[in-house]
Amino acid sequence: MTMKVLVPVKRVVDYNVKVRVAADGSGVETQGVKMSMNPFDEIAVEEAVRLREKGAAKEVVVVTVGAQAAQDVLRTAMAMGADRAILVRTDDTLEPRAVANVLKAIATREEAGLICMGKQAIDDDMNATGQILAAKLGWPQGTFASAVTVADGRIEVAREIDGGTEVVSLTLPAVVTADLRLNEPRYASLPNIMKARKKPLETVEIDSLGVDTASRLTVVSVAEPLERKEGVKVNSAAELVEKLKTEAKVI
């Protein structure tokens, strides 16, 4: 198998951090906040590495679009087993449409046979980049994947849907977006973290790609959601049912 798997990853505020909205309402505070690889992207990296380990793929290339600091998630992905990395450098925050334009350019240059990526980033919660990218490449898509099998030039993808699971069979090349149950990502061991430092990491200036990275959305404001008030503790199930009937009038 000669297939090259491209895995786009994103550096986001760590999932354990409770974000705070900036006082001026322009966004959320990211200064001094712990950053990590988007959890769904870790699953995508893991799946790509497993495909290579099974002999279904030849090489795993990770790519991110972001500032210099985004290198750390590329190193993490290489410590998990990715072979090499590409940083498309920009200091701007890009929307999914713009990121898809960048990724299309990289996928074309790399002649990727499969793009495996997280279904959504836990910062903007867009759940869109994979689908937009698939459309722009004219490739089929297997979104919200919980299992994938590569055979005979096709990929079979089990997808999480509202009522259960659906299976689709796609021609390659294709875009697959990873859902939670696809796998459990491995931890990078210390020796592998050391090894990852020596793996190739190429930096590409975003302007050199000549793609449209303009934003179509203007952020008017970012606000805190309404906080719920903490309620009362009751002592028994009987008291609870009583309150639900007479006070909350919900049953």
Partner 1 sequence: MTALVLVEVENGAVRQASRSAVAAASRFGAVDAIVFGDGAQAAAALPGVTRVLSVPGLVNDLAEPAADLLAARAKDYSHIVAAASATGKNILPRLAGLLDVQPIPDVVEIKDADTFVRPIYAGNALATVRSADSIKVLTVRGSNFEPVAAEGGSAAIETIEAPASEKSVFVKVELSASDRPELESARVVISGGKGMKDAANFKLLEPIADKLNAAIGASRAAVDSGFAPNEMQVGQTGKIVAPELYIAVGLSGAIQHLAGMKDSRVIVAINADPEAPIFKVADYGIVGDLFEVLPELEKAL
Residue 132 contacts partner 1 per CB under 8 A: yes
Residue 34 contacts partner 1 per CB under 8 A: no
Write the binding mask 40 to 69 for partner 1: x where contact by CB under 8 A, - elsewhere: x-----------------------------
Residue 96 contacts partner 1 per CB under 8 A: yes
3-class SS of residue 110: helix
Query: Of residues 14, 59, 72, 124, which one binds partner 1 by CB under 8 A?
Result: 124
When the beta carbons of 59 and 123 are compared against partner 1, the nearer one is: 123
Shortest distance in whole angstroms from residue 198 CB to partner 1: 34
Residue 8 contacts partner 1 per CB under 8 A: no
Residue 122 contacts partner 1 per CB under 8 A: yes
Distance CA 107, CA 102 (A): 9
> From residue 155, how far is each of 49, 173, 217 by CA, in Å?
16, 9, 34
| Burial label, 154 (beta-carbon count in 10 A; 0-12, 13-18, 19+) | middle
Q: What is the DSSP letter of 206?
A: G
- Whether the CB-CB separation of 158 and 178 falls below 8 Å is answered with no
How many residues of this chain interact with partner 1, rule: CB under 8 A? 80
Residue 11 contacts partner 1 per CB under 8 A: no
Shortest distance in whole angstroms from residue 191 CB to partner 1: 28
For residue 36, what are the β-bridge partners? 12
Distance CA 49, CA 5 (A): 9
Tokens standing for 21? 């909205």
Task: Single out the residue of 80, 69, 9, 63 nearest to residue 34, CA to CA.
Answer: 69
Residue 218 contacts partner 1 per CB under 8 A: yes
Query: Of residues 14, 72, 110, 166, which one binds partner 1 by CB under 8 A?
Result: 166
Kindly state the helix (H) or strand (E) to which residue 159 belongs, with its residue range: strand 154-161
Query: Of residues 64, 90, 120, 213, which one binds partner 1 by CB under 8 A?
Result: 120
